[in-house]
Amino acid sequence: MNQPKIYQATIRDVDFGEGVTVVEPVNLYECKIGDGCFIGPFVEVQKTAVIGKRTKVQSHAFVCELVTIGDDCFIGHGVMFINDLFATGGPAQGKKELWKETHIGNNVSIGSNATILPVDICDHVVVGAGSVVTKSITEPGIYVGNPAKKLREL
């Protein structure tokens, strides 16, 4: 009988700020998590990702490499960050030079099950649940839909 390779979800080589709360199981590695953050269960934060102070990341969220999230943000349940745009028609498959960065400003709330492609989102933005952000957001406001569009000012 063949045996699979088994990897355990783990917390390793994380730069934690003061007063961070983590609810296991999680997979956090080679990332930075700021003071006063909350990380819910079943969250993965990959290497090079940075999460700012007092940010809450709810369960089942995926924060991939090359993502920076600002201070005082809320990342809802099941939010997915994407760094590979399948520029060659499929996954980059080890060609990390094809991956793109994502920058989330301060005081940004991202609703449950939203998908965030490699973009910049300015401060003071709300992204509605289930929205897909395909382009950078440069003006504060509420954005909803697929692709996400500005609904109104805050």
> What value does the mean pLDDT take over residues 92-106?
92
Q: Is 4 domain-assigned?
A: no
Q: How confident is the model at residue 72 (pLDDT cuts 50, 70, 90)?
A: very high
Q: Is 88 domain-assigned?
A: yes
Going by the DSSP 8-state scheme, the letter that residue 51 receives in this structure is E
Angle at 66 between CA 118 and CA 68, to 5 degrees: 85
CA 51 to chain CA centroid, nearest Å:
8
Could you tell me if 104 and 68 are in contact, meaning their C-beta atoms sit under 8 angstroms apart?
yes
Q: Which neighbouring-strand residues pair with 9?
A: none
Is residue 24's pLDDT more than 90?
yes
Q: Is 110 domain-assigned?
A: yes
Q: Is 131 domain-assigned?
A: yes
Tell me the helices (H) and strands (E) count for the chain, helix number first: 0, 21
Q: How many domains does the chain divide into?
A: 1
pLDDT attached to residue 95? 87
Could you tell me if 87 and 69 are in contact, meaning their C-beta atoms sit under 8 angstroms apart?
no
Q: Is 124 domain-assigned?
A: yes
Is residue 54's pLDDT more than 90?
yes
Q: Is 6 domain-assigned?
A: no
Question: Residue 78 sits in which domain range?
Answer: 11-152
122-139 pLDDT, tens per residue? 999 999 999 999 999 999
Two structure tokens written together for 96: 């990390």
> What value does the mean pLDDT take over residues 75-99?
92
Query: Residue 102, exposed/middle/buried by CB under 10 A (0-12, 13-18, 19+)?
Result: buried
pLDDT attached to residue 38? 98
CATH of the domain at 105: 2.160.10.10
Two structure tokens written together for 122: 């300015």
> What value does the mean pLDDT take over residues 105-128?
98
pLDDT attached to residue 94? 79
Sequence-ordered list of residues with C-beta below 8 angstroms from that of 51, at least 6 positions apart, any chain: 31, 32, 33, 34, 37, 39, 45, 57, 63, 69
> What value does the mean pLDDT take over residues 11-15?
98
pLDDT attached to residue 93? 85
100 closest CA partner among 54, 48, 58: 48
